[in-house]
């Protein structure tokens, strides 16, 4: 189906042409006839197949047909991650540049007051993550009473990241479900997601594209079984052999990602790391450098496995196999997007092999296995020390590692000293041992603190008179 065959306003058609789109993808072909007629849709499709364009075209068409006030948002798009929000806003600016509609992105990690002011000034479309949207909503910066259209993207990720309570908080403050249009799109639609759809949507049409195979058609998958010690030598060999121009390497933990970053840079492969605790502005700069080709390799934890549309990613490498089977689909979906081709390489070590069976069961396919020849491993590489773990902070007012107890209340912040040992009773000393007739242990027990003004005899630790 071509976009020209659909009933779309000319302003939207012009944006589609400027974006270079002519024919609908499978998910767009199934979704647009239903959504443009006003029906609610819950759509499932592989990542990178055009779900974002499907709901944006519907959204622009509805808002242009129904004129409304610009003082309050008319459409709300909810996404689980900041990267996905930024990507949706960029696509909205591209497709809707001729529609005269104001789109505002709301997410954490950037200027709080700047976003607050922009939202107060008014926007037709708000794209945001649940947390900051709720923050501004409680401050009454904006209202949800004028929402005509709701879009939930990557709803299953909302559950995975613990946003379901925040999502329900927002949905309960929208107009009734039959007074707005609702669209939900995701790469996977689980039972719990569909329960959410039936609760907050108006009899949604469930669409599924190519459910028999979860992974994208044009992704060439390959698996190497390798020991933990041989993973990095094999990775270097693969990078040198294939000359990967734009590669994403996924790893399970932030600490291991930083270690891999040090090793790759030391061996002549420039790269950067993005993870959940990287400051938002820095994260966006890294992604821009990667998109523009200034950065050949990007190391990422699963925070970056969804929602990133980056042109020309030639290879995705699972340095660690993901523990969640769904994350495998989203990781390799970063390549072979919009009809292009790509390659996904996975390295299964002693731990990762335990996740392989569940992954293959989920994607309903076996991952082809290759065995690396000895000459593919690189052994003359530069070694770097593993970063040390940061010391744990001592709890305030609690015990430290040495077992120190907190000061008692009422002591002025000082720890009460231990009481001095009681003086030994005056009894005849046992058999003489040395000049004093006492053992060193007995001397120690008999010592007591001197009173102010007392003097000791030379060579004795006892006060005068004893």
Residue 437 clears pLDDT 60, i.e. is over it: no
Enter the tokens of residue 50.
């055009």
Q: What's the confidence (pLDDT) of residue 64?
A: 93
Q: Which one is the CATH code of 3-208: 3.40.50.300, 3.30.420.40, 3.40.50.2300, 3.30.70.890? A: 3.40.50.300
8-12, 33-37, 167-171, 327-331: which has the minimum mean pLDDT?
327-331
Per DSSP, the three-state class of 193 is helix
Over residues 307-320, the pLDDT tens digits come to: 567 778 889 999 99
| Pairing of β 315-318 and β 297-300 | unpaired
40-44, 168-172, 266-270, 435-439: which has the minimum mean pLDDT?
435-439
Over residues 247-295, the pLDDT tens digits come to: 999 999 989 999 999 999 999 999 999 987 788 788 889 988 998 889 9
Q: Which residue has the higher pLDDT, 314 or 303?
A: 314
Task: Give the helix ranges, DSSP H, for 66-163.
Answer: 82-95, 112-121, 130-138, 155-160
Q: Grade residue 446 by pLDDT with cuts at 50, 70 and 90.
A: low
Share of the chain above pLDDT 70, in %: 78
CA pair distance 187, 331, nearest whole angstrom: 12
**Averaging pLDDT over each range in 39-43, 273-277, 302-306, 393-397, which range is the top one?**
39-43
Q: Give, in degrees to the nearest 5, the angle at Cα 147 between 86 and 53.
A: 40
For helices 353-363 and 325-332, the axis angle rounded to 10 degrees is 70
Q: How far apart are the first and last CA of the chain?
A: 110
96 φ, ψ (degrees, to nearest 5) = -110, 20
Q: What's the confidence (pLDDT) of residue 69?
A: 65
Residue ranges of the domains in the chain? 3-208, 219-376
Q: Which residue has the higher pLDDT, 410 or 76?
A: 76
Share of the chain above pLDDT 90, in %: 49
Q: What's the confidence (pLDDT) of residue 70?
A: 64
Classify domain 219-376 at the CATH class level. Answer: alpha beta
Over residues 145-161, the pLDDT tens digits come to: 999 999 999 888 888 77
Residue 452 clears pLDDT 70, i.e. is over it: no
Strand partners, 183: 41, 151
* pTM to 2 decimal places: 0.68
User: Are residues 234 and 224 in contact, defined by beta-carbon separation less than 8 angstroms?
Assistant: yes
Over residues 192-218, the pLDDT tens digits come to: 888 888 889 999 999 987 655 556 667
Q: What's the confidence (pLDDT) of residue 464?
A: 47
Q: What's the confidence (pLDDT) of residue 68?
A: 67
Q: What's the confidence (pLDDT) of residue 78?
A: 95
Enter the tokens of residue 352.
């990762």
Q: Which residue has the higher pLDDT, 76 or 292?
A: 76
Over residues 80-134, the pLDDT tens digits come to: 888 889 889 999 999 999 999 999 999 987 888 999 999 999 899 999 999 999 9
22-31, 131-140, 252-261, 324-333: which has the minimum mean pLDDT?
324-333
User: Are residues 280 and 110 in contact, defined by beta-carbon separation less than 8 angstroms?
Assistant: yes
What lies within 8 Å, CB to CB, of 242 at 6+ separation is 315, 343
Say yes or no: do domains 3-208 and 219-376 share a fold: yes
Q: What's the confidence (pLDDT) of residue 304?
A: 59
Q: Grade residue 47 by pLDDT with cuts at 50, 70 and 90.
A: low
Q: Grade residue 302 by pLDDT with cuts at 50, 70 and 90.
A: confident
User: Are residues 88 and 94 in contact, defined by beta-carbon separation less than 8 angstroms?
Assistant: no
């Amino acid at each position: 189906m071509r976009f020209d065959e659909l009933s779309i306003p000319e302003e939207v058609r012009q944006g589609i042409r400027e974006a270079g789109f002519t024919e609908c993808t499978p998910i767009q072909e199934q979704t647009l006839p239903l959504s443009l007629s006003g029906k609610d849709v819950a759509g499932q499709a592989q990542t990178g197949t055009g779900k974002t364009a499907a709901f944006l075209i519907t959204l622009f068409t509805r808002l242009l047909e129904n004129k409304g006030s610009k003082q309050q948002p008319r459409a709300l798009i909810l996404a689980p991650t900041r990267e996905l929000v930024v990507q949706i806003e960029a696509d909205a600016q591209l497709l809707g540049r001729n529609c005269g509609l104001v789109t505002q992105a709301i997410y954490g990690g950037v200027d709080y007051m700047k976003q607050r002011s922009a939202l107060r000034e008014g926007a037709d479309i708000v794209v945001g993550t649940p947390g900051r949207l709720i923050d501004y909503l409680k401050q009454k910066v904006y209202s949800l009473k004028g929402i005509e259209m709701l879009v939930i993207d990557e709803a299953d990720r909302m559950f995975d990241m613990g946003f379901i309570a925040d999502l329900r908080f927002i949905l309960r403050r929208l107009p009734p479900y039959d007074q707005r249009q609702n669209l939900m799109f995701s790469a996977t639609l689980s039972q719990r997601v569909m329960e959410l759809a039936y609760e907050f949507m108006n009899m949604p049409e469930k669409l599924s594209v190519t459910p028999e195979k979860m992974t994208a058609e044009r992704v060439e998958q390959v698996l190497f079984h390798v020991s933990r010690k041989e993973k990095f030598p094999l990775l270097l060999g693969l990078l040198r052999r294939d000359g990967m121009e734009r590669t994403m390497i996924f790893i399970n933990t932030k600490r291991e990602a930083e270690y891999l970053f040090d090793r790759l840079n030391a061996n002549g492969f420039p790269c950067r790391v993005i993870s959940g605790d990287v400051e938002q502005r820095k994260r966006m700069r890294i992604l821009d450098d990667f998109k523009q080709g200034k950065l050949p390799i990007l190391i990422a934890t699963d925070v970056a496995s969804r929602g990133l549309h980056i042109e020309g990613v030639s290879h995705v490498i699972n340095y660690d196999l993901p523990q969640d089977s769904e994350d495998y689909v989203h990781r390799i979906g970063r390549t072979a997007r919009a009809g292009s081709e790509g390659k996904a390489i996975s390295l299964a070590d002693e731990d990762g092999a335990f996740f392989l069976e569940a992954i293959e069961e989920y994607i309903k396919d076996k991952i082809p296995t290759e065995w690396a020849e000895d000459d593919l491993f690189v052994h003359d590489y530069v070694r770097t020390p593993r970063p040390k773990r940061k010391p744990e902070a001592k709890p305030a007012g609690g015990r430290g590692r040495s077992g120190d107890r907190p000061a008692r209340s009422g002591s002025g912040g000082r720890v009460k000293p231990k009481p001095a040992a009681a003086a030994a009773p005056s009894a005849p000393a046992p058999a003489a041992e040395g000049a004093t007739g006492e053992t060193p242990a007995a001397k120690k027990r008999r010592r007591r603190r001197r009173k102010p003004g007392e003097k000791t005899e030379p060579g004795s630790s006892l006060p005068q008179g004893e």
